[in-house]
Structure 1
Amino acid sequence: MSRFWKIALVVVVVLVLAVVGLRLMHKPGGQPGQANAQDQGKEGQQPPVPVTVVPVARQDVPVYLTALGTVQALNTVAISPQVSGRLISLQFNEGQPVKKGQVLAQIDPRSFQATYDQAVARLHQDQAQLATAKANYSRSQELGPKGYIAKQDLDALHNTVRQLEATLASDQAQIRDAEVQLGYTKVVSPIDGLAGIRGVDPGNVVTTTSTIVTLTQLHPINVMFNLPEQNLDMVRQAAMGEGELSVAALDRGDAHVIADGGVLKVIDNQIDASTGTFRLKSEFPNQNNELWPGQFVNVRLKVRTVGGGLVIPAQAVQRGPDGDYVYLLQQDNTVKMQPVQVAQEVGDSAVMIASGLTQGQKVVTEGQFRLKPGSKVNPLKPGEVPPAPTKEELEKAKKSGGGRRGH
């Protein structure tokens, strides 16, 4: 292609682009300024936006502190025998409840029974010797004044009686010891609890270092948790003012309450310098075994109640670049953006407002995405739906839509 034709092609393309641009700038039916005025007129004729509004209410709002907690058994006991011997039987089921005083295991008692019988026999022998010594001493006391027995011999007989009395006391102590050792052959539960997995089998020779089973007490049960040190004064003052503070345990997603009815039992006497937190212990009845040792839960500690707090639904609060705000309904059924400060959440669906609203004002809870400051709205109650459009309104909307398509 020659240079002339290349220049001609470029000129043609430039002319075509210029014509297209002019047609776009000068639309038929008026000047650009006129078109903007028409569009603004149409916008002003838009029907009110249906929205749901809710009044700002006053109610008592509980104040909670939350933390991650760990469930801990009230008592955990590792059951070990107190005497050594062959294990004859286990009398509990793994994972099942046991009662205080229930026999858990039986150790072969024969050698301990023999030791006990020997101690009893020795007692009887020494009792007979003591009886003889007392009789000899009694007769000698009658003969002493008559000069038939020396005072030295009389003293020796008296000392023999006292020696045998001491031997008798020792025998009785040995019997009690043998009886205790014999009793240890029956391993009993010291608490009401839940049996874990057994550590020995029948037939094994167990010693005092063997663990037969571990028992955990689940009723009641403890939940341990930590709070930042800046909350210490608040918790202490609340505990002194209200007595036992209520505690609830929630699942890890804070979706629902696992266990209620807990109370704060202990505030630790020191702050952990490495974490800047202090430890607390709460106690739950746990009648239905909702909590399990080692489980992680979210703890909600109630420290006080704010009387007459301003409460609105949580969905009314919007987040903007300058902070939280709500759409506030005006007297002329328009809305404005009202900055607010949220104090805290109230349950799962409401918030308490610290500033920005007063009781009785109405805020938009549904339909905010179609609003801007000054928008005309049709305020509806929760659950209320706007009325169906009339035939005239439908015809007007149809004609308005047809006119726009004609352009």
Structure 2
Amino acid sequence: MKKKLVLALAGVLIVAVAGWWWSGSGDRAASQAAKAPAAGRAPADGAPAALVTLATAERQDVPVTVQVNGSVVSLNSVDLRPQVTNTVKAVHVKEGQFVKAGQLLFTLDDRADQANLARASAQQKRDEATMADLERQYKRSQELVAQNFISKSAMDATLSQLEAQRAAVAADRAAVQSAQVALGYATLRAPIAGRIGAVNIYPGTLVQPTLSLVTITQLDPIAVSFPVPESNLQDLLAAARGGARIEALVPGRKEPLTGVLNFVDNTVDPQIGTVRAKAVFANADQALWPGQFVATRVTVRTLAGVTVVPAAALMMLPEGATLYVVDQAGTATRRKVQVLHTFGTKVAVSGLEAGERVVIEGSQNVRPGGKVRVDAKAAPPGTTGVTPGSAASSDTPAPRERA
């Protein structure tokens, strides 16, 4: 009997405890449900507000640039060769030396040329003396003909001899000039200013026209040749007419070098669809070297006063590029835009006004017409803060996905 009484009391106690616990849980659930709208975690319609990061669209001028790899080329490069077969008498430069235009580089053995010039000069003087004697004879013949001491035919014979001698003197003068030219081949001077390459010629070396003595390369100014896609050809031609500035990004230098676009090729390479262009750079410090590869950047045009947003805001859908625009009430609206130009991490678009806020993180959870709440802690520099009327959350946003 006592055992049954104890079991009955235990059953009543268990039922009382269960009722008390159930009543408390219901009160806590009701309390949390009452607090949820105030915290901004669920709006009145029951749909949760998506956690997002916003950025504000800006208006600015955007330069349209084309960046490609180019190669440094010299504007002038001369392969110096002798014009005659001769022996090197003296070398006046060292390899790697900078020379000026007209500077003496090599001297060849000129003894034979000196002798030829002396012989031609002596022949010219002898014929000039003979010509002077014939001129005096012709002058006396004219006086004697006037006095009827000699016949006119004798005077004409003297004139013929004089004319022949004048021709001989003219030939002698040409021979002297030829000998001087040949003598000039014995000295080789720099035709341009530049840097000397390797010198493998020494005094006593027998050289001939087929042998290269040295190469002279101009370094200042210097040019950079680079290909430009044919889609940018018209913009490139317009930029060339306006004297576009070209930037060369040289490894090891913080600031790019600036040059002037001065040449666009007259044909497009059909194999790769590019056109060759060339820009000239001042190179007093030899930052650019012939054959070096550098990254070049040319501004072909400028988009004035366009709307710019982070590229992360764009969603590529079948109907085109779209993004979510959030109003002051925190409502997201999907809008179709047109991409004008992409540069770095930003993009210039049309169909959006400056000052409008767009979703750059968390768009995978946003629905058109739905509410959003801003994660202030996850907002990167330059993005908006907490949306008015909503609470900030420290929840970690989901990884970004394209809608």
Q: TM-score, normalised by structure 2?
A: 0.71
CA separation of 1:274 and 1:327: change in aligned 2, threshold 3 A: closer
CA drift at 1:163: 1.4
Identify the range of structure 1 (371-380 vs 207-216) with the bigger mean alpha-carbon deviation. Answer: 371-380
User: 3-state SS of the aligned residue for 1:65?
Assistant: strand
Q: Show CA shifts across 1:11-40 (max 9, x none).
A: xxxxxxxxxxxxxxxxxx99xxx9xx89x9
Question: 2:51·2:372 contact (CA, 8 Å) conserved in 1?
Answer: no
Is there any run of 5+ residues in structure 1 with no aligned partner, and where?
A: 1-28, 387-407
Q: Show CA shifts across 1:147-193 (max 9, x none).
A: 44343332222111111111111212222222222222211111111
User: 3-state SS of the aligned residue for 2:182?
Assistant: helix
Q: How does 1:190-205 map to 2 (within 5 A)?
A: 190-205=191-206
One-letter amino acid of the structure 2 residue matched with residue 260 of structure 1? T
Question: Are residues 1:283 and 2:280 paired?
Answer: yes
User: 3-state SS of the aligned residue for 1:290?
Assistant: coil
**Aligned twin of 1:215:** 216
One-letter amino acid of the structure 2 residue matched with residue 104 of structure 1? L
CA separation of 1:236 and 1:262: change in aligned 2, threshold 3 A: closer
Question: 2:55·2:382 contact (CA, 8 Å) conserved in 1?
Answer: no
CA separation of 1:370 and 1:232: change in aligned 2, threshold 3 A: closer
CA drift at 1:211: 1.0
CA separation of 1:286 and 1:262: change in aligned 2, threshold 3 A: farther
**Aligned twin of 1:170:** 171
Question: 1:258·1:290 contact (CA, 8 Å) conserved in 2?
Answer: no
Task: Work out the CA distance in 2 between the residues paired with 1:122 and 1:50.
Answer: 106
For this pair of structures, how many residues does the alignment match? 345
CA drift at 1:58: 0.7
- Candidates 256, 259, 266, aligned match of 2:257: 259
One-letter amino acid of the structure 1 residue matched with residue 296 of structure 2? V
Identify the range of structure 1 (98-107 vs 139-148) with the bigger mean alpha-carbon deviation. Answer: 139-148
Q: Show CA shifts across 1:276-332 (max 9, x none).
A: 433323222233323222223333222211111112345x44667778776755535
CA drift at 1:203: 1.8
**Aligned twin of 2:184:** 183
User: 3-state SS of the aligned residue for 1:209?
Assistant: coil
CA separation of 1:349 and 1:252: change in aligned 2, threshold 3 A: farther
CA separation of 1:277 and 1:261: change in aligned 2, threshold 3 A: closer
CA separation of 1:46 and 1:106: change in aligned 2, threshold 3 A: farther
CA drift at 1:239: 4.3
CA separation of 1:342 and 1:202: change in aligned 2, threshold 3 A: farther
Q: TM-score, normalised by structure 1?
A: 0.70
CA separation of 1:176 and 1:122: change in aligned 2, threshold 3 A: same
Question: Are residues 1:111 and 2:106 paired?
Answer: no
Task: Work out the CA distance in 2 between the residues paired with 1:338 and 1:292.
Answer: 50
One-letter amino acid of the structure 2 residue matched with residue 87 of structure 1? V
Q: Percent identity?
A: 36
Question: Are residues 1:361 and 2:362 paired?
Answer: no
One-letter amino acid of the structure 2 residue matched with residue 297 of structure 1? V
CA separation of 1:82 and 1:248: change in aligned 2, threshold 3 A: same
Question: Are residues 1:296 and 2:297 paired?
Answer: no
User: 3-state SS of the aligned residue for 2:101?
Assistant: coil
User: 3-state SS of the aligned residue for 1:294?
Assistant: coil
**Aligned twin of 1:123:** 124
Task: Work out the CA distance in 2 between the residues paired with 1:302 and 1:61.
Answer: 10
Task: Work out the CA distance in 1 between the residues paired with 2:380 and 2:313.
Answer: 17
CA drift at 1:237: 4.3
Question: Are residues 1:88 and 2:89 paired?
Answer: yes
